[in-house]
Structure 1
Amino acid sequence: MSNDPLLQPYQLKHLTLRNRIMTTSHEPAYPEDGMPKERYAAYHAERAKAGVALAMTAGSAAVSKDSPPVFNNILAYKDEVVPWVRQLTDACHDHGCAVMIQLTHLGRRTAWNKGDWLPSVSSSKHREPAHRAFPKLAEDWDIERIITDFADATERMKEGGMDGIELQVYGHLLDQFWSPLTNDLDGPYGGGSLETRMQLLMDVLGGIRKRVGDGFIVGLRYTADEIEAGGISEAEGVEISKRLAESGMVDFLNVVRGRIHTDPAMTDVIPVQGMKNAPHLDFAGQVKKVTGMPTFHAAKIPDVATARHAVQAGLLDMVGMTRAHMADPHVVKKIMEGREDDIRPCVGATYCLDRIYQAGDALCIHNAATGRELTMPHSIAPAQTRKKVVVIGAGPAGLEAARVSAERGHDVVVLEAQPDPGGQIRLTAQNPRRREMISIIDWRMAQCAARDVEFRFNTWAEVEDVTALNPDVVIVATGGMPNTELFEAGQEQAEVVSAWDIIAGDVKPGAQVLIYDESGDHPGLMAAEIAAEAGSKVEVMTPDRTFAPDIMAMNLVPYMRALQDKDVTFTVTRRLKDVQRDGNRLKAVIGTDYSDFTSEKTYDQVVVNYGTMPMDTLYFELKPLSSNHGAVDYDALIGGEVQSVTRNPDGPFQLFRIGDAVSARNTHAAIYDALRLMKDI
């Protein structure tokens, strides 16, 4: 029996949870037709198999037709969900993991032009800024219907084998009723008193208990402090918590702090990299202390040490490590085996959440198997035949290729031109807020070191260097260099500098700076932040209708907080056509995709962020020597089969290129390139 606080069992009502680690409710947007099918089950089963005690599935499973999903949620209002829920719960129960689901009505936090095109409904007459739909004020028949919908959905979940349900009460309909900021109603559910504001929740709980009985586990994930003037205060949140405990209808409290009605507010509830770890942990501990209720909590608890402290100090009964389990589903297994140093770290990039808020599916920035459990392995199987693999480049793509190859049992040599590994990640980590990104590199270097991968730094690889190693497989992961060739001009712009130049400190910002950002990803705003911090007058210009679209919602927040109190302006729908020397300054010729209009403006410095061009010279020099001439069988790649293209029978090695050596993409794409290719080599 372990003495580790995290590995102690916990008794929740009749349910014995095997340890203190859970994944809190989150919607990875994997449903098909609103149902949690095979992909969904495989995702949770992987974590269950590795020892997590409780899988809280489905952020915001919808209980009503007028709560249409905004990011591919589970449709808990359909009877057909039951067998799919049964398949999911069975998949987790088979590995000893308890399973619950979060149910909600989104209220105004959705749109009327989704699903069945029903009007959104709320206790508020105002739209939510993040989702922009103006709701109708709930009528008596809406309230009666929604109370029944919650009970119906809970009954479906019980029939599907769930161990319990969690009601979502922050930012969604139930919270909209109980917050003074979002209750414009009169009468028994109106905003006058705490009792009337809480009445809908109490009626929902009563309806659920009447339907499924007192034995079924029912809890709440709720805000106990909105941290906003006029909203639920800490004192009122504590009072709410006490009333929930005294009601006898609630079995656990899952405490959050803050609001989620805007991107910045949500980012404070679910912090991203560069923000404080576990910012609301002590507050959750206060709620536990005053209520004596089983208390759960999750908010940027990325590491085992913090999780262990939360339980050991009595702040929590169950600690949520959700993004941590997206980075590494085997966290608990590695704790039990004494391999905490082996855990793939969550770097707080929040690529997972930002993707779902742009209608994508949740993916981890540096674990390409997450969400792809049906096709990609979290544990690499050994190869039948040991091969000599040479990797050129020690950025994220090259290091993933080296790691996977080494786990396959191959003999691996990595050649890197720079004195240190990391590639573009080293530039990213120059920003203090994004320093956690270097863990993507550090973890892979440790994995490679444990498997005797040979690294040769300060080595500019030539053809002879590669062939002298007698490789069976050569992976070109040389990345790319900044592209400063404007599309309209058709040639390199000698007068401009790249965003990389500013980020690396190779070029100092000028007094008046244009950041021309055609890529819309991090380097543009990183360069803008550096220039603004240096006192420059900065203009960020894009030909798109929105700026920095690839940074997405939550990661944009820290940039805006850093830039908005400085001399920075944003110009959209303007295209940089040319840059010409004008005495000591630069004249920018500016056009637009929307008309023939052009203008001119002068700056001291023009910085271009326009992706990278592949560093592919070595690849093309090696290509005629290889057996496959660099060709990839895409059907085999997608289908998880061995690459067997032969275009040159006399070639002694296979040749592949990955990551930005192919084309400018992102870190996840580079790592996915490497994983899905090398797992079958």
Structure 2
Amino acid sequence: MNYPKLFSEGRIGPLVLKNRGIMMPMATDLADKDGLVTKRQIRYYQERAKGGLAMIINEYTGVDDVDSIPSIHNLRIARDYHTTAMEELVDAVHMYDCKIVAQLHHGGATSNPQFTGRQNLAPSAVPIADGRPMPKEMTLEDIKRVQEKFIDAVGRCKKAGYDAVELHGAHGYLIAQFFSKYYNRRQDQYGGSATNRARFLTEIIAGIRKRYGNYPILVRMCGDEMTPVDGFLTLAEGIEIARILEKAGIDAINISNGSARNGDANCEPFSYKSGWKKHVAKAYKEALNIPVIATNTIKDPEFAEQLLEEGVCDFVGLGRSQLADPYFMLKAASGQSEEIRKCIGCLYCRERVLRDAMPIRCTVNARTAREVEFDQLEKDGNGQTVAVIGGGPAGMEAARVLALRGFEVHLFEKTQQLGGTLNIADKPAFKEKLTQLTRTMTAQLNQLGVIIKLNQLADAKTIRGIKPVAIVVACGAEPVVPKLPGVDGNNVYLAEEVVAGQAQPVGKIAVVGTGLTGLETAEMLCSAGHEVALVEMAPEIGPGIFPAIRNDELGRLLSHKPTVYAGHKLLAIDVRSITMENMSSGEEVQIEVDSVVLALGVRPRKQIYDELKQAFPDIEIRAVGDARRGGRIGDAIRDGFEAGYTLGKGSGSII
């Protein structure tokens, strides 16, 4: 057996788990406006159960729809009418021999008064963060009322068939607020000592035990809030509370990290190394006798096995790895680990839910939360030939899906390796996960028998020779170069050339454009010892980048102290200077530079698509990825997947 620890049985209270892989709760925003679980949500969870997990802890599930509505599509079990729908979810997961746990949640000060029409409740009148609404300090009557809502919700979970419940005491929500010396400044029996600050939860636990016996109870808490502000939980303080909870009779503890003010310790950007916080979970395992579940930025089964071997935890918490590849566990068990599509740490999932209030999606897996739409892949290719032009992420994904449908796929790539722009994007610091993505996608194509033709331009004559029934154009894009004086000078370079090591700008360098490519290029140049000026038309550098990624990148870049010209438009380039316009004042600004690096985005290569349309008027031709519109890796993979899934199924199709 591969990974013997990972695939050994485990126990949580009376539950026997078939292996040590547990899916962590992650908000999806897939519930309806009344908090009812939806068909889309059910299929999302069922797909992960089908992938071989021992247990799923579903996303935070509200026990209160009066004082706690953190988002419009927050899953809830606050009313009896939620129970029937929840049974459908439970049954769908149980179908694949997978346990399911409801994570019971109350937002407290993190709720949204715009949705409730009421002042938030909290242990004390302390806003969850600067600028957030002032909550109302809970009276003893409020406390008892909310505790009863937790206990009542457990009854609904039990009735729906859940195997256990998890009480959400992490990430700055209500239970965590009671744990916290910062948020809990009460002078009564619910504040002060660790015992008092845990009392809100221990009384809920006692109420559950009295009413429902030995029904399994888990608690999630932040083992270390890693927030350098007085009053936030330290590792030692967290362990003190965990011991109190163990004594109160919980069956397992689920260790996360971070706080409402430090989300990166919970859901990290790509620069964080796997296992960087494993000392926290190990400290809890050594201090407690109940099973410890823990997340640790687990991207592959080798590392999961290592954590279990080292005694860091009893069960591995799999979060974003389950978004990237729901078949993580099955592939690991069957010796196909090299085909596991791994999370790249881009936080697109978090960006969708937290910033955009949109349902969860994943950059590397176009099916995530869309399993209803892409339920069954038809085996309708019948060995017919399809040409895919371009071996970047869009082309590779289209080729993979078409091969799964039974087409004979010929993938043409003009360079000596697959990956396209991934082979540039993986060059800056901490981007090695993109190298792994290319390897995984290549392994999948090889396993499926895709005919890969490297170092080969796909002209009309070549394509005509294989007699394709359809063509996918994934030839990528070209960098945007503005028509400005001096832009064709010998001191002007493209960011892509610099990152790939094909160009070496000298002296003081102006980087024009501060999207992620521009910022990463600037960081590389600063690290090489160059003096750098950042030029950006928007009022702030890094426009449009998800704040957690932007702040992570700027934390490194700004330590080099580049000169920043936000709100400035490039007008002209000279041999030793550039001229800009201050967008606010209209004033012209000139600075001395030796080199200029352009990072202004890309535009599709339309010529190849147009030529093929003319050469093959009777064949369905689909442009995907950057060849269709400039975008991110996730846009390219989604385009490729959708093209592969739908090619030949449109109106008037001949396939």
Above 0.5 in TM-score? yes
Residue 457 of structure 1 is matched in structure 2 by 454
Note the C-alpha offset of 1:606: 4.4
Residue 21 of structure 2 is matched in structure 1 by 21
Residue 353 of structure 1 is matched in structure 2 by 350
Residue 675 of structure 1 is matched in structure 2 by 641
Counterparts of 1:484 and 1:186, CA distance in 2: 64
Correspondence for 1:374 among 372, 375, 397: 372
Quickly say closer, same or farther: Cα 1:581–1:223, change in 2 above 3 A: closer
Contact 1:123–1:182, Cα closer than 8 Å, also in 2: yes
Residue 577 of structure 2 is matched in structure 1 by 585
Quickly say closer, same or farther: Cα 1:512–1:72, change in 2 above 3 A: farther
Contact 2:109–2:173, Cα closer than 8 Å, also in 1: yes
Counterparts of 2:365 and 2:239, CA distance in 1: 39
**In structure 2, the residue corresponding to 1:5 is in which secondary structure?**
coil
**Cα deviation code 1:558-582 (max 9, x no counterpart):** 302212322135555x251x42245
Contact 1:403–1:448, Cα closer than 8 Å, also in 2: yes
**Cα deviation code 1:114-159 (max 9, x no counterpart):** x123222323544334883333333333323322222232222222
Quickly say closer, same or farther: Cα 1:546–1:138, change in 2 above 3 A: farther
In structure 2, give the amino acid aligned to 1:587.
T
Contact 1:103–1:165, Cα closer than 8 Å, also in 2: yes
Note the C-alpha offset of 1:583: 5.8
Residue 479 of structure 2 is matched in structure 1 by 482
Counterparts of 2:358 and 2:488, CA distance in 1: 38
Contact 2:225–2:233, Cα closer than 8 Å, also in 1: yes
Q: TM-score, normalised to structure 1's length?
A: 0.87
Q: Map 1:409-428; keep pairs closer than 5 Å.
A: 409-428=406-425
Note the C-alpha offset of 1:481: 0.9
Counterparts of 1:287 and 1:271, CA distance in 2: 21
Counterparts of 2:112 and 2:70, CA distance in 1: 8
Residue 653 of structure 2 is matched in structure 1 by none
Contact 2:63–2:149, Cα closer than 8 Å, also in 1: no
**In structure 1, the residue corresponding to 2:431 is in which secondary structure?**
helix
Contact 1:536–1:567, Cα closer than 8 Å, also in 2: no
Counterparts of 1:575 and 1:3, CA distance in 2: 55
Residue 641 of structure 1 is matched in structure 2 by none
In structure 2, give the amino acid aligned to 1:35.
L
Counterparts of 2:110 and 2:541, CA distance in 1: 24
In structure 1, give the amino acid aligned to 2:604.
P
Matched, 1:43 2:36: no
In structure 1, give the amino acid aligned to 2:636.
A
Counterparts of 1:468 and 1:157, CA distance in 2: 61
Note the C-alpha offset of 1:290: 2.2
In structure 2, give the amino acid aligned to 1:244.
L
Residue 61 of structure 1 is matched in structure 2 by 62
Note the C-alpha offset of 1:398: 0.8
Percentage of identical aligned residues: 26
Q: Map 1:103-502; keep pairs closer than 5 Å.
A: 103-113=104-114, 115-129=115-129, 132-170=132-170, 171-190=172-191, 192-210=192-210, 212-228=211-227, 230=230, 231-248=232-249, 250-257=250-257, 259-262=258-261, 265-358=262-355, 359-377=357-375, 380-485=377-482, 493-494=487-488, 497-502=493-498
Quickly say closer, same or farther: Cα 1:3–1:328, change in 2 above 3 A: closer
Note the C-alpha offset of 1:85: 0.9
**Cα deviation code 1:566-610 (max 9, x no counterpart):** 2135555x251x422456211112325xxx744424251444433
Unaligned runs of 5+ in 1: 628-650
Contact 1:514–1:541, Cα closer than 8 Å, also in 2: yes
Residue 652 of structure 2 is matched in structure 1 by none
Residue 650 of structure 2 is matched in structure 1 by none
Counterparts of 1:493 and 1:78, CA distance in 2: 64
Matched, 1:522 2:516: yes
In structure 1, give the amino acid aligned to 2:271.
G
- Of 656-665 and 131-140, more deviation after overlay is shown by 131-140
Quickly say closer, same or farther: Cα 1:261–1:11, change in 2 above 3 A: closer
**In structure 1, the residue corresponding to 2:448 is in which secondary structure?**
coil
Residue 605 of structure 2 is matched in structure 1 by 615
Matched, 1:562 2:528: no
In structure 1, give the amino acid aligned to 2:644.
M
Residue 600 of structure 1 is matched in structure 2 by 589
Quickly say closer, same or farther: Cα 1:618–1:172, change in 2 above 3 A: same
**In structure 1, the residue corresponding to 2:559 is in which secondary structure?**
coil
**Cα deviation code 1:265-316 (max 9, x no counterpart):** 2212333323121223343233123211021111311111122233344432
**In structure 2, the residue corresponding to 1:579 is in which secondary structure?**
strand
Note the C-alpha offset of 1:184: 2.4
Q: Give the aligned length.
A: 639
In structure 2, give the amino acid aligned to 1:420.
Q
In structure 1, give the amino acid aligned to 2:589.
E
Counterparts of 2:571 and 2:332, CA distance in 1: 57
Counterparts of 2:41 and 2:596, CA distance in 1: 47
Note the C-alpha offset of 1:342: 2.6
Residue 633 of structure 1 is matched in structure 2 by none
Quickly say closer, same or farther: Cα 1:544–1:361, change in 2 above 3 A: farther
**In structure 2, the residue corresponding to 1:672 is in which secondary structure?**
helix
Correspondence for 2:620 among 654, 657, 665: 654
Counterparts of 1:515 and 1:137, CA distance in 2: 50
Contact 1:219–1:254, Cα closer than 8 Å, also in 2: yes
RMSD: 2.6
Quickly say closer, same or farther: Cα 1:108–1:549, change in 2 above 3 A: farther
In structure 1, give the amino acid aligned to 2:145.
R
Counterparts of 1:568 and 1:126, CA distance in 2: 38
Contact 2:225–2:259, Cα closer than 8 Å, also in 1: no
In structure 1, give the amino acid aligned to 2:497.
D
In structure 1, give the amino acid aligned to 2:411.
V
Note the C-alpha offset of 1:60: 5.3
Quickly say closer, same or farther: Cα 1:392–1:110, change in 2 above 3 A: same
Quickly say closer, same or farther: Cα 1:571–1:149, change in 2 above 3 A: farther
**Cα deviation code 1:216-269 (max 9, x no counterpart):** 211111123233453333222222222111112x11111123x2223xx22123
Counterparts of 2:152 and 2:55, CA distance in 1: 23
Quickly say closer, same or farther: Cα 1:349–1:581, change in 2 above 3 A: closer
In structure 1, give the amino acid aligned to 2:580.
A
In structure 2, give the amino acid aligned to 1:567.
K
Note the C-alpha offset of 1:7: 2.2
**Cα deviation code 1:475-528 (max 9, x no counterpart):** 110010111237xx7x994465433233223444565544443xx642122122
In structure 2, give the amino acid aligned to 1:6.
L
